[in-house]
Structure 1
Amino acid sequence: MATTTSSASTASLSSVTLEVADLDAAHRFYSAFGVDTRIRLRASETPTEGFRGFALALTVSGPATVDAFVDAAVSAGATVLKPAAKSLWGYGGVFRAPDGTIWKVATSAKKDNGPATREIDEMVLLIGVDDVKATKEFYVGRGLTVAKSFGGKYAEFAAPASSPVKLALYKHRGLAKELGVPADGSGSHRIVLGGTGSAFADLDGFVWEA
């Protein structure tokens, strides 16, 4: 059964930095995609292979806006992993950016109430972990507040209105399945999380910087 809390978090995710091999190319891609003001980029040649264990998800207003974002990404060089389509929960699609980061763009609306926009309602960092319950408790111990929790399958943390991104946990294999990719991977996650507290690494090796 889901549980929900409404208290404010004493710590939060304040930024997401993607580590990319080609910094100039990544800047061009994310500018064309339309999220360049919501993420940071850092040059890195740290080895990584397969599924990096995370994805970034955008929630938007309607199917036409989903298509607009996905089309912009594909035109800029992204590879579609799951074509945008209707589902029981709404409409959405998944793609891999040229730097390897996986993105999901979705809406709960099944019909458009207006023309496509380039507005983003919410951005969520989804990280795949070995043990959702243990990692949830780890983050609670770091000062984050649980907003939603579905047993050992999913947990989402509260974020202040000023935060550009929310943090959510999935089972590693469950997230890979949701994204349409093999679960195997090794090496660096190629992502660094910025927080309001001290630097640390979580149970699955995701690094936070102060």
Structure 2
Amino acid sequence: MSKFLVVAANGKAGQKIVNELIARDLDVTVAVRQANKTQASQVIIKDLFELTVSDVKNFDIVIDAFGAWAPEALQQHTTSLEHLAAILAPNARLVVVGGAGSLYLDASHTVALKDSSGFPDAFKPLASAMGEGLARLRTLDVDWTYISPAADFVADGERKGHYVIEGEVFTTDDKGVSQISYADYAMALVDIATSGRYQKERHSVRW
């Protein structure tokens, strides 16, 4: 059985992912900076940037749920990925909780959602920082998968038990809605992580 480490697990997305792993009776450990807020019993209390090779050497799949919103910390969306890639075991997989703003508007992959008209100005710095992190991740020597949520990422939304996996192009349902709950995103992420597929690829998930 694969051993999972969820980094920055105290956040809302991290907690949902941990719940999903536990519900499937998978071997999960969490790495949190402060007191553990998750249901996991195996805990490493350490800042992401203080994790070492020794801390992560026994894990097959590391799920990165890190997020930073303060302007002075936005560059950590890149440096956190660099750090994790540097310390992972050679055959470990890095699965990243991503953002929707860097999804492309069409198959030409020239214009991102964050650069389109109507994208909220308040979210542009974060979306740009996460996009830069993804661009850096593509260059790192690590087995990675980056999973973007729908544009409307609903923290307390219901778990419907279904989702659609798309590629790097922003899509909507037949009503023009791009939405998914944290709970169904967590289900999709764990399905993808355990599938052994989508290596060195970015995908998006929505209802």
Same fold (TM over 0.5): no
Q: Which has the higher helix share?
A: 2
Q: Which has the higher strand share?
A: 1
TM-score where L is the length of structure 2: 0.28
TM-score where L is the length of structure 1: 0.27
